[in-house]
Chain A
Amino acid sequence: MITAVRQEGMLLIDFIEALLNPHIPFLRYAFMVGLLASVAFGVIGSYVVVRRISYIAGAISHCVLGGIGVGLYLQKGVGWAWVDPLYGAVIAALAAAVIIGFVSIHASQREDTVIGALWAVGMAIGLLFIAKTPGYTDPMSYLFGNILLVSQNDLRLVAGLDILIIGAGCLFYQRFLAVCFDEEYARIRGINATAYYLGLLCLTAITVVLLVRIVGIVMVVALLTLPAAIAGHFARVLWQMMLAASLLCAVFISSGLAISYTYDMPSGPVIIVIAGTVYLAVLLTRWVFR
């Protein structure tokens, strides 16, 4: 037992040393991106969970691959060096949010079919553009995350988007709360509920992009919903849920990065397995002690 504690202590010290090591900047960037993104994930993830739009968030995040593919193609195929695949990701995510939002408002029937189709088509477009991009690009990095790709430029982009998301999430807190709780009533109170719903989807879209580099587009929605779902079991009000979800998200990402670095495992899956295990443990405990 003591040895185990000592080993874990060594693990933590090793990880902190690695974080401070100037020769491996990507780890430091990934760690900082993770901490910054956690706040946005906690805030927006809570809205997504209480409004029950995880499925829509999933569709948006998969469509992001389309934007990444086009971005890569423009950067390397057409030669526009200033284009970053993440710019494409942001644009694709916003476009997907607006299209899927309109579909979910207007297609009263077969909403899931249309959203499922957009989900797949978005990914297909991305893979086609990646295939036609000169040089070798591994789609796996984008699908499942690769912290080796995190750069200082990403850190700046993530910090900027983070401020935007948290600012909007807090400024419109009461209105988003009302629209999520009872959309029809919010509309009667003179709130443009459709606009707030689309706004929420757009914020979700941008949030998803923040962690594409670290956990990848396939798994990112789990990190959006699991911390919020865990927090929802204990929170009395929505802002407490957001705060707790942000903290949990930060813990999952940092512990996941530490374990993946120490044992040389891909960071995204480790983070998701930790989040999923804690979620299941909470559900089980609640079920046993009900």
Chain B
Amino acid sequence: MIPVVEIENLYFSYNGISVLKDVNLSIDQKDSTCVVGPNGGGKSTLIKIILGLLEPTRGTVRLLGGTPDEKRNRVGYVPQYSNFDPLFPVTVMDVTLMGRLAAQNGVRFGFSYSKSDKEAALHALEEMELLQLAGRKFSELSGGQRQRVLIARALVSASEILILDEPTANIDAHVEGSLFEIMLELNKRMAIILVTHDLGFTSQFFESVICVNQVVHVHPTSEISGELIQDLYGEDIKMIRHDHRCAAGGHVAD
């Protein structure tokens, strides 16, 4: 079985400052992995390297058995929605269709997408229970709905990996719950990589945790302990989630 992501001896530095050191990790098909670490610790950098948006200074990255440039078309990526211009004139359908740009079936020019593109987009919207909102303006949606539109956009072209960057930032607790259900469902058919700074989120669902703070450690979720959190974030943890419960015995890595 080819791992969906395989990283060996990877180093990355930016303007002479080391951001990631000697990273080795492997993510299997249908894995659910959480990437945690403090802000500025290199989480986003790691994701950008996996997506081929940044070149590593040293080391190799294999994505679905190829280079990130070759294969990133098959990766679904969900960015933080807080980055979007709230006035942007675009509909839910328009956003979803962007997932089909330059897809396997050729280049899109002009105003219109092909019939198969539209069908794929409608199918993804249906799966996210957004079909009735397809014609609505993206900026009129709630935070949770926008999140689901961005997941739909990722799904129209992805079949093997879904990468989500801080999906729990700025959304309500009940939306967070439904996000979980969506991910549980999607995890049946694809690997999920989720970036978060919220450790309480991790152990409820994920099989393994990738801790990134310049160096990278991979743990099964059951190993998450106070000591580990302190190693990762240092002494100054100010916020602790009290609603966090681990299942009996925790999760066990394969």
Contact = CB atoms under 8 A, between A and B. Distances in A.
A232 B111 contact: no
A174 B53 contact: no
B108 interface: yes
B147 to A, nearest CB: 14
B110 A171 contact: yes
Interface in A171-187: 171-175, 177-178, 180-182, 184-187
Q: Summarize B's interface: helix, strand, loop or mixed.
A: loop
A178 B101 contact: yes
A240 B88 CA distance: 12
B102 A50 contact: no
Interface residues of A, number: 29
Interface in B71-102: 72-73, 75, 77, 79, 83-85, 87-91, 94-95, 97-99, 101-102
B95 A174 contact: no
A38 B85 CA distance: 26
Contacts of B90: 177, 181, 237-238
B79 A184 contact: yes
Contacts of B75: 188
B74 to A, nearest CB: 11
B87 to A, nearest CB: 6
A170 interface: yes
Nearest to A192: B102
Contacts of B72: 188, 190
Given A170-B111, A173-B111, A181-B84, A186 B89 contact: no
A52 interface: yes
B89 A174 contact: no
Contacts of A184: 53, 79
Contacts of B87: 50, 232
A184 B102 CA distance: 14
A86 interface: no
B244 to A, nearest CB: 31
A139 to B, nearest CB: 37
Contacts of B109: 171-172, 174-175
A239 B51 contact: no
Given A177-B94, A184-B79, A191 B101 contact: yes
B157 interface: yes
Contact of A235 (B53, B89, B99, B153): B89
Q: Which of B51, B87, B89, B94 has most A Cβ within 10 Å? A: B89
A175 B103 CA distance: 12
B137 interface: yes
A238 B89 contact: yes
A173 B89 CA distance: 13
A52 B86 CA distance: 12
A173 B111 CA distance: 6
B113 interface: yes
A106 interface: no
Given A170-B111, A173-B110, A185 B89 contact: no
A236 interface: yes
A189 interface: yes
Contacts of B153: 185
Contacts of A181: 84-85, 88, 90, 95, 98
Contact of A240 (B89, B97, B111): B89
B101 A174 contact: yes
Q: Which of A175, A182, A188, A239 has most B Cβ within 10 Å? A: A188
Contacts of B85: 50, 52, 181
A185 B73 CA distance: 11
A189 B91 contact: no
A190 B73 contact: yes
Interface in A156-172: 170-172
A184 B84 CA distance: 12
A52 B88 CA distance: 10
B111 to A, nearest CB: 5
A258 interface: no
A237 B94 contact: yes
B108 A189 contact: no
B79 A175 contact: no
A205 interface: no
Given A178-B101, A181-B95, A185-B98, 8 more contacts: A175-B101, A178-B98, A185-B77, A186-B101, A188-B51, A191-B101, A237-B89, A241-B89
Interface of A: 50, 52, 170-175, 177-178, 180-182, 184-191, 232, 235-241
